[in-house]
Structure formats: structure tokens, C-alpha cells
Amino acid sequence: MQKTPFARGFATRSIHQGYDPLAYHGALNPPVFLTSTYAFDKAEIGSQRFAGAADGYIYSRVGNPTVSILETRLADLEGGEAALATSSGMGALTTVLWTLLRAGDEVIADRTLYGCTFSLLRHHIQRFGLTVRFVDLADPANLAREINSRTRLVVTETPSNPNMRLVDIAAAAEIARGAGALLLVDNTYCTPYLQRPLERGADIVIHSATKYLGGHGDLLAGAVIASKDFIDQFRLVGVKELTGACISAFDAFLILRGLKTLALRMDRHCANALQLARELERHACVARVYYPGLDSHPQKALADRQMSQHGGMIALELKGGLDAGRKFMDAVTLATRAVSLGDAETLVQHPASMTHATYAPEERAAHGFTDGLIRVSVGLEDYDDIRDDFVAALDSVR
């Protein structure tokens, strides 16, 4: 499925791949095709396009020239054959699930996942005759033990949102393949700049492009990257007929703009996060810092193997638990109290009452994260300013 070796470097491809200005009147930036429908030369051509016998656009729920440029670029950056851009990360996930699964199938999902992904799998999908089992995939032996002939799909995030546990993608892919199942990796936290799951044997990568790919907190979007055969099904059955979760051409344009600085931004997010994680670990009020670049992270060796840097996300617990965490969040003055992640601004939020409120308290405990956990999306500000803000806020809760 994977299409490497790449002809050019990552940053170069993030800027140029899939777009030739000379094909668009020399416009340096791709035009935004604000059109819902497309004219056919002759009725026969329309019929052929609908039958899949001729190339060409028919309706923007199925394809749009601006969106196509984005899809070509994303497929290339992830090292996949093809990509589908969607209206949100949840739109990407539901499009994949509705297309692939049939009543009677089983899904194995990791124990910690983004709150709405968890809620979809825990509370809603069973209505359609599917079984979901939550397994701790941080240890591949658990997957090997639990997978069976009914398992169609294994769903993971690595690092997982919010507690930064990792899944060994190569090991999980081998086990899934051996059982005839597919491995889906949500690569939102890493982006293809830090980690490319398809190169390690995963079958399907999804993204919330709302986050680092867009990078500026000004849009909602998602993406799926996989083999051309799967992407054709996700587009022509999934988005076209099951979810309708198509992206707008304008949001595709904004992501193309964001991608031009992805490598630069990720370098800065990672550098700021590593320094901040080390500083937080030294602070007397902090009980624990979860960051895969720290020696204290139990899966640091796996992180070094599978990620090129350790990402821009940190989770921490304060010694005073939830009360101290709330005081800390109220005391920051530079960081913004907000959900989402991957923006230029440093964001702090409280998963148990915000993004992961979909987990019941006993599920949070069983799935490995506490009510006191604070999640930080480390931004692009000057590191010293972020550090001073966090240290002052922590000092104030002593």
C-alpha cells in the first residue's frame, strides 16, 4: 500500500505536492472552487462520470478540484496511495466505520481514545449489531490474546488522547493481519511529520485535520489515508451515501495553507513541549508528567523507535489532584483554557470534565486516566513565556 521512496523532502512536499501553478493561470496558491455542481459537455458524459467510466467532477460531495489538491498532498505526506478529506475528524472515523463494518462484526478498540471516539464505540455503534471490546493495546500480547475471526477492525490512537500511552504500530499491524483484521491508527497527535503508521503496516490512517494539519484553530476537518481501493469505497459509498461528511473547498484551501508550515510548526511544538515537560517534572507541585520524550515515560524506547520527535502534547497530574488542577488552570495567564489542540496558542483543558466527560468516572479509572489529569497542547509562543506562565501558576497553588 505504501508508495515510498519519496522524491523530495517532507517540507518541500508539504508546500508543493499535488499543485502546479502553471495549470491554474500561474496562481501561486490553489484556487478555491466554490461550486457545488459541475457542467457536463453532453448528457452522455454525465452518465459516464456517474457510472465511473469517465474521469471528471460531478458534485462537490464526491469531489472538488481544491479538495483534490489537498487529498493528493495528504496521501503523499502519509506515504499512502490515496486520501479522502472530510468535514471533521469524527466525519473521517464514521465514514470508515459505516463503510467497512457489517452487523455481526467485532471492533477491538484501545482503552483510551478521544472522548467522542470512545462514546461512539461504547454507546452508539452497538445499535447496528456490532460488538466493540476495549482492550489495553499498550501491550501487543493483549491484542494477540483477544483478537478472533470476527474482529474486522482494530482502532488505536498513539500517543493516546489524553494520557499519552503508546501502541506499537508494527506489532499491532502484524497481529491484526494474522487474524484477517484491519488496523486503523488515528495519527492526529503526531501528523505524518512525526509518525507514518502506513509505513509500519497499518491499513488506514485517520486525522482530525482541525488540529496540527490546519494548525491555526480556524477550521474543522478530517482525513483518511489508505489504499486507493479503500479510499474509493470511503468516497463513493462512505461520504457519498452514508455520512455526507464532505469538506468545504475553503477549509481545504486553509489546510493547504497550514500544511506549508507543518514541519516548521511541529519542530517548534516538539521543542517547546520537551522543555516544558522537563520543567514541569521538576516542580514540587507536580505528581506526574506524561510525555513520551521523558525518560520517566514507560514506553520511551518505543516512542524513539516509532516517532521522529515526541510531539506537542503533555498531560500532567498535580499533587493536590482535581482541586489543585482547577486552581492551576484558572491561574495561567498566557495559556488559554480551551479544548482542541495543535494550534499556535498554548491550550490547557481538563479531560475528565471536558473532552473525556463521555467516560463515566469508573471508566476513566479503568481506562487509565484520573480526574486530576490536565492536558496541555503546547503552542508556538516563546518557550520562556510559556515556562514563566506555567511555573507562576503552579507556584500559586502550593
Ligand X SMILES: Cc1ncc(COP(=O)(O)O)c(C=O)c1O
Q: Which residues are catalytic?
A: 61, 114, 186, 211
**Closest distance of CB 92 from ligand X, Å:** 8
**Closest distance of CB 229 from ligand X, Å:** 24
Q: Which residues contact 186 (CB under 8 A, 6 or more apart)?
A: 89, 93, 113, 114, 117, 155, 156, 157, 205, 206, 207, 208
Q: How long, in residues, is the chain?
A: 398
Q: Does 90 participate in binding ligand X (rule CB under 6 A)?
A: yes
**Closest distance of CB 185 from ligand X, Å:** 10
**Residues 144-163 within binding reach of ligand X (CB under 6 A):** 157, 161
**Closest distance of CB 220 from ligand X, Å:** 5
Contact code string over 101-140 relative to ligand X, x by CB under 6 A? -------------x--x-----------------------
Asked whether 21 and 266 are in contact (CB, 8 A), the reply is: no
Instruction: Return the residue of 208, 243, 272, 349 that touches ligand X, per CB under 6 A.
Output: 208
Strand order in the sheet with 286-290: 286-290, 313-318, 373-377, 347-349, 336-337
- What are the grid coordinates assigned to 293, written together? 520524550
**Closest distance of CB 376 from ligand X, Å:** 13
Closest CA to 98 of 127, 75, 77, 61: 127
Nearer to ligand X, 191 or 299 (CB): 191
Count of positions on this chain that bind ligand X (CB under 6 A): 13
Q: Which stretch binds ligand X (CB under 6 A): 41-49, 65-73, 85-93, 343-351?
A: 85-93
Nearer to ligand X, 19 or 359 (CB): 359
DSSP 3-23: -PSPSS-HHHHHHHTT--GGG
Q: Does 88 participate in binding ligand X (rule CB under 6 A)?
A: yes
**Closest distance of CB 114 from ligand X, Å:** 4
Tell me which H or E stretch contains 222: strand 222-226
Q: Does 89 participate in binding ligand X (rule CB under 6 A)?
A: yes
Strand partners, 58: none
- What are the grid coordinates assigned to 28, written together? 501561486
Nearer to ligand X, 60 or 355 (CB): 355
**Residues 166-195 within binding reach of ligand X (CB under 6 A):** 186, 188
- What are the grid coordinates assigned to 147, written together? 483478537
Q: Does 222 participate in binding ligand X (rule CB under 6 A)?
A: yes
Rounded CA-CA distance 45/86 in Å is 27
**Residues 346-385 within binding reach of ligand X (CB under 6 A):** none
Q: Which stretch binds ligand X (CB under 6 A): 83-91, 288-296, 310-318, 328-336?
A: 83-91
Q: Does 78 participate in binding ligand X (rule CB under 6 A)?
A: no
Q: Which residues contact 120 (CB under 8 A, 6 or more apart)?
A: 90, 93, 94, 97
106-110 and 286-290 as β-strands: parallel, antiparallel, unpaired?
Answer: unpaired
96: left (phi over 0), alpha (psi -120 to 50) or beta: alpha
Instruction: Return the residue of 14, 95, 158, 210 that touches ligand X, per CB under 6 A.
Output: 210
**Position closest to ligand X via CB:** 89
**Closest distance of CB 89 from ligand X, Å:** 2
Residues that bind ligand X (CB under 6 A): 88-90, 114, 117, 157, 161, 186, 188, 208, 210, 220, 222
